[in-house]
């Protein structure tokens, strides 16, 4: 029975969420309700969702192909054409029903269609629940560069319904866990310890606490000037590793969480070398990560390609890579410059 | 020596504009200055512009192909890739130097790159000076549908320098004149009469007054709830006609102004049929338009295609086309529904 109030919209967790959504539709008198799904959420989530939606408005389904590889502008053009052909106008509502690809891409599509229509996010994976529910980041990839194109835009409402989690794979649950670990390490070590000790783990509570943390961070620093940068912990190297696997045709892709987990181990190592994080704590991070994720040794010959991808990180200025590192758990430092040989050392540390 | 203060940025008209731009760059400590041009503004405007820019920052030129046909997402992707390859980061500045295609597309590109970088618009055609200097509309076409994808975003500064007008064709000057006529008919009949009587026509003053009017309108109604809709006068049918010519391979394209001029004649006719605009005034509008633009008879067999394109107008709600019509000069009514046979009659009126 809980709601978190984000900057301009509510994140609903309770049973009555769908009643509130139906009311939103009624009160705003939308002309058409578009629902964006992929083939997986179409099969597994849509049948759970649609009986809850009480409205006499026209409903139109738009399905895109699942996968990060499709989180691009070509897919956006397809969705924009579909909305146009289905007679979408400025009073249309777009409901996104899916993981991060659907919610990020859908938010971007809605925000740019006829200079912006309303949208509602219903994340169906653990990752999108804990990561995309607040913050207003929408966007798509440009080539292998993650979220290179996008904008800040807020939905009218978010519904976090953990019953959708029964529709996803254990690997996807693990992918979302990486973000929860991040919230723990940077902001609430109690949360991290819960995962480390592997007890009292009610997923519902972990999700709620994660959204609560992210919301506190975003409200204090919406434009990512300072505090919000902690949300990038593990993501600087993590994104580069994720992009590298995405563009390597002979390698199986990593999930976002798998890449970010490696990134957190490496960046904890950097934190210990450059700042005050103790070696013991670095080892704890590595142990917890390896207790959840398979070891994915990074090949020596790939190091330079990964380092090269760092130069496209969105936090960079004047060609300088800016890391967010930890003085200690729950204590961060932004805009850290790291010598290239130390970055490589951090990947070797992960491999050891 | 004048500046108009738009909602969050200045529009400079004076000699010192370029000094102020150089100061802006210095004060914001941008990492790189990207300049977006097309082959025409590269040849004719860039040589006039660049000696004025006093900065020690890295400058990178990006050239796209001119023409409305290139105002699309494919071109955006090209520019985003170019900025990426040239090492653009969040502290980059994009200066747009060109007509409406360059300023609209450039503003959109900047606003979505890494979730938004700063941009400065330097319109070089009469149309973009009087239409794109204020209002914050950025965007591109989707197929033949004008400005279907875009968003509201404000530049850091606009420089209106009428010396660039020596670089454009008389046809382009005429294209911009249609917007000035629109400001006159809907907001300041004195401005319209100046054009009608064809005297005291200092282009500099017409531009300044037009930007001043648009700014007053936009400040009062930034989100286009009411007053701002007058800026769409002539544009509902005008855009449909423009799109129709754009997609007809056997017809030469109309300029935006040529299409809007026809739209204003037709919509004045609709105003006389549905509201109080006198027949005498409708005839005056038609006479002034035909004194400037060649007659472009609309073919009977094309009427239904044009009417069909109206259904994509951004003002539509629930499949209803919403016209902005005139009770009288300087007196408008929004959200007017018009029967289809009357729309066709209005095109016949133009043809007569």
Count Cβ–Cβ pairs < 8 Å, chain A vs chain B: 98
Task: Report the gap between the CA of B318 and the closest CA in chain A (Å).
Answer: 5
Question: What residues does A95 pair with on adjacent strands?
Answer: A35, A120
* CATH H superfamily, domain B170-351: Dehydroquinate synthase-like - alpha domain (1.20.1090.10)
Nearest CA in chain A to B148: A114
Residue range A59-76: average pLDDT? Answer: 96
Categorize the per-residue pLDDT at B14 as very low, low, confident or very high, splitting at 50, 70 and 90: confident
Task: Judge contact between A213 and A180, C-beta under 8 A.
Answer: no
- Chain B residues close to A87, C-beta within 8 Å: 311, 319
Could you tell me the end-to-end alpha-carbon distance of chain B, in angstroms, rounded to an integer? Answer: 46
Task: Report the gap between the CA of B274 and the closest CA in chain A (Å).
Answer: 25
Q: How far apart are CA A93 and CA A84, in angstroms?
A: 13
A78 is written with which tokens?
């397809």
Predicted pLDDT of residue B200: 67
Residue with tokens 């992009």: A243
Locate all alpha helices (DSSP H) within A36-188, ordered by sequence. Answer: 39-44, 46-49, 73-85, 100-112, 126-131, 170-187
Instruction: Dump strand ranges (E) for chain A.
Output: 3-5, 10-12, 32-38, 58-64, 93-98, 118-123, 137-142, 145-152, 157-159, 323-328, 331-336
Query: Any CB–CB contact under 8 A between A114 and chain B?
Result: yes
CA angle (B16, B21, B26) in 5-degree steps: 125
Query: Any CB–CB contact under 8 A between A334 and chain B?
Result: no
Contacts of A223 (CB under 8 A, 6+ apart): A152
Residue with tokens 């023409």: B67
Task: Report the gap between the CA of B234 and the closest CA in chain A (Å).
Answer: 19
Q: Inter-chain contact A112–B149, Cβ cutoff 8 Å?
A: yes
Predicted pLDDT of residue A200: 67
CATH class in words for A3-167: alpha beta
Residues of chain B numbered 64-103 and touching chain A (CB < 8 Å): 73, 76-77, 80-81, 84, 87, 89-91
Tell me the per-residue pLDDT of A13-49, one tens digit each, with 9 for 90 and over.
988 999 999 999 999 999 999 999 999 999 999 999 9
Q: How far apart are CA A97 and CA A118, in angstroms?
A: 15
Tell me the per-residue pLDDT of A206-236, one tens digit each, with 9 for 90 and over.
999 999 999 999 999 988 899 999 999 999 9
Q: Is the dihedral of CA A196, A197, A200, A201 positive or negative?
A: positive
Facing residue for A312 by CB, picked from B77, B84, B115: B84
- Chain B residues close to A80, C-beta within 8 Å: 142, 148-149
- Chain A residues close to B86, C-beta within 8 Å: none
Predicted pLDDT of residue A127: 95
Residue range A310-330: average pLDDT? Answer: 88
Residue range A90-111: average pLDDT? Answer: 97
Q: Inter-chain contact B90–A315, Cβ cutoff 8 Å?
A: yes
Question: HSE of B148 in the Cβ direction (CA atoms, 13 Å)?
Answer: 28
- Chain B residues close to A84, C-beta within 8 Å: 142, 145, 148, 312
Nearest CA in chain B to A152: B115
Select the residue from B76, B112, B314 to test the A interface by mutation, using most A Cβ atoms within 10 A. Answer: B112
Residues of chain B with CATH 1.20.1090.10: 170-351
Q: Return phi, psi of residue A291, to 5°.
A: -75, -20
Tell me the per-residue pLDDT of B106-126, one tens digit each, with 9 for 90 and over.
999 999 999 999 999 999 999
Longest dimension (CA), chain B: 61
Residue range B271-294: average pLDDT? Answer: 97
Residue range B201-207: average pLDDT? Answer: 90
Task: Report the gap between the CA of A55 and the closest CA in chain B (Å).
Answer: 16
Residue B92's nearest CA partner among B138, B46, B133, B59 is B59
Phi-psi region of B99 (alpha: psi -120 to 50; beta: other; left: phi over 0): beta
Task: Judge contact between B275 and B337, C-beta under 8 A.
Answer: no
Query: Any CB–CB contact under 8 A between A57 and chain B?
Result: no
pLDDT > 80? residue B315: no
Tell me the per-residue pLDDT of A133-172, one tens digit each, with 9 for 90 and over.
999 999 999 998 889 999 999 999 999 999 999 988 999 9
Predicted pLDDT of residue A315: 76
Helix (H/G/I), strand (E/B), else coil: A10: strand
Predicted pLDDT of residue A226: 94
Residue A283's nearest CA partner among A265, A271, A270 is A265
- Chain A residues close to B147, C-beta within 8 Å: 115
Q: How far apart are CA B331 and CA A227, in angstroms?
A: 51
Task: Report the gap between the CA of A188 and the closest CA in chain B (Å).
Answer: 28
CATH class in words for A170-200+222-351: mainly alpha
Q: How far apart are CA A162 and CA A172, in angstroms?
A: 13
- Chain A residues close to B84, C-beta within 8 Å: 142-143, 145, 148, 312
Facing residue for B316 by CB, picked from A77, A89, A318: A89
Contacts of B66 (CB under 8 A, 6+ apart): B38, B39, B40, B41, B98, B99, B101
Select the residue from A148, A309, A313 to test the B interface by mutation, using most B Cβ atoms within 10 A. Answer: A148
Task: Report the gap between the CA of A307 and the closest CA in chain B (Å).
Answer: 15
Helix (H/G/I), strand (E/B), else coil: B167: helix
What letters, b where the CB count within 10 A reaches 16 and e where it falls short, cover A107-124? bbbbbbbbbbbbbbbbbb
Residue with tokens 């049918």: B237
Q: How far apart are CA B96 and CA B122, in angstroms?
A: 6
Predicted pLDDT of residue A172: 93
Q: How far apart are CA A314 and CA B152, in angstroms?
A: 22
Categorize the per-residue pLDDT at B313 as very low, low, confident or very high, splitting at 50, 70 and 90: confident
Nearest CA in chain A to B139: A115
């Amino acid at each position: 029975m809980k709601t978190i109030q984000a900057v301009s919209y509510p994140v609903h967790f309770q049973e009555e969420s769908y009643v509130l959504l139906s009311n939103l539709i009624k009160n705003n008198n939308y002309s058409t309700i578009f629902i964006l799904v992929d083939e997986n959420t179409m099969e597994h989530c849509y049948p759970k969702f649609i009986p809850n939606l009480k409205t006499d408005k026209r409903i139109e389904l738009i399905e895109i192909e699942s996968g990060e590889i499709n989180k691009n502008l070509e897919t956006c053009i397809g969705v924009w054409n579909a909305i146009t052909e289905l007679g979408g106008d400025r009073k249309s509502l777009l409901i996104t029903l899916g993981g991060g690809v659907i919610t990020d891409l859908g938010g971007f599509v809605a925000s740019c269609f006829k200079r912006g229509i309303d949208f509602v996010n219903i994340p169906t994976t653990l990752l999108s629940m804990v990561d995309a529910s607040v913050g207003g980041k929408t966007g798509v990839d440009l080539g292998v560069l993650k979220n290179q194109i996008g904008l800040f835009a807020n939905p009218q409402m978010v519904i976090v319904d953990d019953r959708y989690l029964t529709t996803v794979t254990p690997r996807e649950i693990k992918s979302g866990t990486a973000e929860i670990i991040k919230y723990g390490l940077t902001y609430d070590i109690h949360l991290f310890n819960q995962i480390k000790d592997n007890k009292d783990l009610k997923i519902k509570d972990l999700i709620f606490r994660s959204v609560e943390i992210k919301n506190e961070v975003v409200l204090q620093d919406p434009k990512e000037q300072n505090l919000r940068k902690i949300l990038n912990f593990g993501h600087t190297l993590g994104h580069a590793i994720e992009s590298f696997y995405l563009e390597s045709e002979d390698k199986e892709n990593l999930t976002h969480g798998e890449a970010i987990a490696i990134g957190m181990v490496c960046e904890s190592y950097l934190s210990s070398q450059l700042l005050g994080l103790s070696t013991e704590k670095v080892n704890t991070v590595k142990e917890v990560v390896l207790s959840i994720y398979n070891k994915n040794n990074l090949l020596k010959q790939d190091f330079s390609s990964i380092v090269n991808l760092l130069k496209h990180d969105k936090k960079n200025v004047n060609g300088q890579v800016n890391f967010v590192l930890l003085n200690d758990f729950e204590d961060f430092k932004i805009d850290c410059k790291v010598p290239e040989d130390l970055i490589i050392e951090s990947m070797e540390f992960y491999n050891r």
